[in-house]
Structure 1
């Protein structure tokens, strides 16, 4: 078997930047509603501000990240796709692989 270079899959920075921008826009709108409204239900704007604020932070972190999310090589693969990823997995630990389509990909 010939020595092959590892295959690396990195973040899609443009897509992550667009998601971060959309989330920041929604946070700004939520803050506008929160500060401008005299209604007793204005506190409901806190939920989307917190949620989309978290999304904006995660997406900005993805934009700034330079290292690959997934690295495949002869010995196994290194999964760093999420903060809760399993890390390094040897091929001997893999029992099967199936291809699945996620969303519109």
Structure 2
């Protein structure tokens, strides 16, 4: 049992390499494209979503806001328009990986 315990404790002692953070300019491009996808959306919910997009600190946070973008565009236009706009955002996020 002692060998097993030592082995388990050794697993946590190695530093895992940190993933490189994306260049700030690519993150900002993705942010601006996401905000632009709401350009013709009006109202307090749209303004709140734009604020959330501006406040997102990482590519992951921006990526997770896609559902909110879809919902907002679908409410103000239609689901096919929302799907088209979300698809148009994908290349910006591919560069961030």
Structure 2 length-normalised TM: 0.32
* Structure with more strand by fraction: 1
So what's the TM-score if we normalise by structure 1? 0.30
